[in-house]
Amino acid sequence: MNGISVMIFPEGTTSKGPGILSFKKGTFNVAAELNIPIIPCAICYEDVDHAWVGDDSFVSHFFRQMWKPFSRVEVRFGDPICNNNFNVLKEETKLSIKSMLDKME
């Protein structure tokens, strides 16, 4: 796809965890049809209150975070996953992210 990377949140939202919410199928369907690899990514905040979740607006969250001296976040990337079956692609991605989160939490 012309070397363009796209980042999505497959749950369609963010959460404070622990665990993973249900994944939406749309992006996985497109990736499977076009044979685009997905690189799983897991994000874990040391303080779960630093996460941007719920009905909180981006602006209010940004300004609350901006005044904090620091925020510790662990980010891990998994191996690329490619499959022409979107259900398999979705489940393999979910398992990869779960495995990374289990090691971080």
* Model confidence pLDDT, tens digit, residues 52-100: 777 778 888 788 878 888 888 889 999 999 999 999 999 999 999 999 9
Phi/psi at 97 (nearest 5 deg)?
Answer: -65, -40
Residue 24 DSSP one-character state: P
* Threshold 0.75, pTM exceeds: yes
* Model confidence pLDDT, tens digit, residues 13-57: 777 777 788 888 888 999 999 999 999 999 888 877 777 777 778
Phi/psi at 81 (nearest 5 deg)?
Answer: -125, 130
SS3 sequence, 61-80?
Answer: HHHHHHCCCCCCEEEEECCC
Distances from the Cα of 34 to the Cα of 4, 38, 80, 87, angstroms: 14, 11, 15, 14
Residue 38 DSSP SS3: strand
Residue 65 region by backbone torsions, left for phi larger than 0, else alpha for psi between -120 and 50, else beta: alpha
